[in-house]
Amino acid sequence: MKVLIVGSGGREHVITMKVAQSSKVDKIYCAPGNAGIGEIAELVPIKAMEFEKLADFAEEKKIDLTVVGMDDPLVGGIVDVFKARGLRVFGPEKKAAILEGSKAFSKDLMKKYHIPTAAYETFTDKEAAIEYLKTKASFPIVLKASGLALGKGVLICKDLPEALDGAEEIMGVRKFGDAGSQMVIEEFMTGHEVSVLTFCDGRTYREMSSSQDYKRAGDNDTGLNTGGMGNISPSPFYTKEVREYCEKNIFQPTVDAMRAEGREFKGVIFFGLMLTKDGPKVLEYNCRFGDPEAQVILPRMENDIIDVFEACIDGTLDQVELKFREEATVCVMVASGGYPVEYEKGKEISGLENFKGKQGIWCFHSGTAVRDGKIVTNGGRVLGITANGKDLQEARDRAYEAVSWVSFEKEFYRHDIAQREIMGV
Ligand code: AMP
Ligand code: GLY
């Protein structure tokens, strides 16, 4: 088979690695990719949002399967463009990707189908939102731009003045662009956060493994929210009891609700959950693998990933049993100084050769490029250093050891990834 992967981050790097392990695959392209992906796939200089150009390429090269890793093209309808041209593609159609593309949609879906989530109200009018905040809200409260905002359109406001500023940012000055034309105001929840990734064929879902994200830039959850500074899998808080509850009350009901709405979901549903004292509740849905959730989950998957992608497309996932190695995995993101605000690019990265031939230690590239034959930084999140181990402690030790192998000017990373799970707090 010839496979095309669409995206350019660490998530697409690990997807490409799994695709390369398939016995069915003999050629992989990635558009646009990065320096790490370029070592296992041929890079194609077409951007992820150039749907027609990507489809032209897939036709010309007789690509058998295209896999879309990123949210923007999925929410924008890349799958519909490919399908209309008779091209085989893994990922949800636009009408299903709305599960991530509109928080107003997903909240209404959960309400209609009694899927547990935080209480909320939706607003398209700023004045109405302000009136609600002044008269009905209790604090802290959470404001969310309804559309896609690189994981940054969520504001937790401790009091009314902060909430009024937040409403102005989202709906007034449109800090997150059109994503703020609609705003969700929701109840603040507390508890452990757990993510669960699932494959879905429209009817049946199969759970991958649980994971936990470290979203803030600084140690001990200080600093700004980021795309994810590290991740661990599995989550010790995702117990058998929690899992059974989620399967019955969240996962299958979501798949069924989408189908009942005529929005059959084929692809990956990423469930962001908060384990509250009243039980697990949905924080958010994503319509694709997480980044860096994929980096801690896919390396442990024993199945041929192509078989799983095809079962999702063909609606035969009920015949697939997913197998994951009973290990733990830890990913530490090495980022450019200043991320997530302002940072420089083009810094030469040294030490990458240390990963060659290592078992169970991976250097997934998030933001890298080749310049004058050298690998340089090309983004805020640069490398997702990932390691496995018999438990979280061993995986953590191995991941941090490997972090010390690489360096570039002004690099930074969190020092506490996996620590709170190891301590059980
Ligand atoms: P989201 O993009 O909706 O997952 O939100 C980003 C982050 O904001 C989540 O991972 C949580 O840490 C936090 N968050 C979102 N919604 C809530 C909520 N209702 N209560 C508390 N924290 C929240
Ligand atoms: N790491 C969070 C996400 O991919 O949305």
Quote the ligand 2 centre to 108 CA distance (angstroms): 22
User: Rounded mean pLDDT of 251-277?
Assistant: 98
What's the distance, Cα to Cα, between the start and end of the chain in Å? 46
Q: What one-letter code names the amino acid at 161?
A: P
What pLDDT, on a 0 to 100 scale, did the predictor assign at position 137? 85
Look up the CATH number of domain 329-423.
Answer: 3.90.600.10
Ligand 2 in reach of 100 Cβ (< 6 A): no
The CA distance from 9 to 365, in Å, is 6
Residue where the block lists tokens 């490997």: 402
Ligand 2 in reach of 213 Cβ (< 6 A): yes
Ligand nearest to the CA of 10: 2
Q: Which two tokens stand for residue 241?
A: 């009891």
- Work out which ligand 2 atom sits closest to the CA atom of 151: 5
Average pLDDT value for the chain = 96
What pLDDT, on a 0 to 100 scale, did the predictor assign at position 125? 94
Quote the ligand 1 centre to 202 CA distance (angstroms): 26
Q: Which two tokens stand for residue 99?
A: 């599960």
Reference 414, options 191, 235, 222; nearest CA is 222
Ligand nearest to the CA of 71: 2
Tell me which residue has its CA closest to atom 8 in ligand 1: 154
pLDDT over 80 (residue 425): no
The CA distance from 53 to 6, in Å, is 12
| H or E stretch at 166 | helix 160-167
Tell me which residue has its CA closest to atom 3 in ligand 2: 290
Ligand nearest to the CA of 189: 1
Tell me which residue has its CA closest to atom 5 in ligand 2: 290
What pLDDT, on a 0 to 100 scale, did the predictor assign at position 25? 98
Ligand 2 in reach of 290 Cβ (< 6 A): yes
The CA distance from 324 to 312, in Å, is 18
Look up the CATH number of domain 119-187.
Answer: 3.30.1490.20
Extents of the domains making up the chain: 2-94, 119-187, 192-319, 329-423
Quote the ligand 1 centre to 289 CA distance (angstroms): 18
pLDDT over 90 (residue 224): no
Ligand 1 in reach of 284 Cβ (< 6 A): yes
Quote the ligand 1 centre to 242 CA distance (angstroms): 19
Tell me which residue has its CA closest to atom 3 in ligand 1: 284
pLDDT over 80 (residue 26): yes
In this prediction, residue 65 has a pLDDT band, given cuts at 50, 70 and 90, of very high
Look up the CATH number of domain 192-319.
Answer: 3.30.470.20
For the stretch 346-402, pLDDT in tens is: 999 999 999 999 999 999 999 999 999 999 999 999 999 999 999 999 999 999 999
User: Rounded mean pLDDT of 315-325?
Assistant: 98
Ligand nearest to the CA of 151: 1
Lowest mean pLDDT among 50-54, 85-89, 225-229: 225-229
The CA distance from 144 to 182, in Å, is 9
Ligand 1 in reach of 186 Cβ (< 6 A): yes
Tell me which residue has its CA closest to atom 9 in ligand 1: 283
Q: How many CB atoms lie within 10 A of CB 272?
A: 16
What pLDDT, on a 0 to 100 scale, did the predictor assign at position 207? 98
Ligand 2 in reach of 384 Cβ (< 6 A): no
Q: Which residues, in sequence order, are CB contacts of 303 under 8 Å at separation 6+?
A: 320, 322, 323
For the stretch 109-167, pLDDT in tens is: 999 999 999 999 999 999 999 999 999 889 999 999 999 987 778 999 999 999 999 99
Options 1.10.3470.10, 3.40.50.20, 2.10.109.10, 3.40.50.1970; which CATH number does 2-94 get? 3.40.50.20
